Amino acid sequence: MALKSTVFKAELQVSDLDRGHFAEYPLTIARHPSENDIRMMVRVLAFALHAGPDLAFGKGLSSDDECALQEVDPGGVLRTWVEVGQPDESRIRKGCNRADRAVVLAYGGRSVDVWWQQIAPQLERFANLTVLRLSAEESEALGALAERSMKLACTIQEGTVWLASGERSLELAPVELKAAGG
């Protein structure tokens, strides 16, 4: 018998001063049985960073064909493709070719450095790709915020992210490994 996903609920308030985007999102997050709290919360962070009315969680780990998050406009055009972790080059290429904009939010400590060193030369040609990196400490702190029912407040300014859940808060500074257009 297959294990079922665990359902988490989050009320996410986003104040993105960089984009001038302010909204609240009631999120239902299905955590795949093989997914840990860190990966799930990195997906929530990715949602906050790219929040908009057409952004939605993909099937993620349960589907090889879908990414962690995707923004599909009302006309059915894939605008933004977002993956978390350390995807292989073919998966990133697929996202870059399908969407107007592709983003990878990498996490995992030193393994990210090794992954990036190996994959960076293959990704130079993708002008629509942005790659961000979270430190191991940031990833761990993010995972520690996971609860079955969450109220999260996220403020983004000049690339710095402040995320609060009740009395707990943390500051994240994702490092840009590759900027779109470069």
Average pLDDT, the chain: 93
Neighbours of 8 (CB within 10 A): 19
- The SS3 of residue 92 is helix
* Helix ranges (DSSP H) in the chain: 37-49, 89-98, 110-123, 136-143
CA distances from 45 to 56, 124, 127 (A): 13, 25, 23
CA distance 64 to 145: 28
Does CATH number 3.10.640.10 belong to domain 6-178?
yes
> Domains of the chain: which residue ranges?
6-178
**pLDDT tens column, 109-145:** 899 999 999 999 999 999 999 999 999 999 999 999 9
Residues 6+ positions from 45 with CB-CB distance below 8 Å: 105, 134, 142, 154, 161, 163, 172
Place of tokens 């130079």: 124
Return the beta strands (E) in 17-167 as ranges.
21-31, 55-57, 69-72, 78-84, 101-106, 129-133, 149-157, 160-165
Tokens standing for 54? 């057409």
Q: Kindly report, residue by residue over 141-180, the tens digit of the pLDDT.
A: 999 999 999 999 999 999 999 999 999 999 999 999 999 9
Higher model confidence: residue 59 or residue 115? 115
Q: What is the pTM of this model?
A: 0.93
Residues 130/82, Cβ–Cβ less than 8 Å = no
Angstrom distances, CA of residue 32 to CA of 9, 29, 62, 101? 14, 9, 7, 26
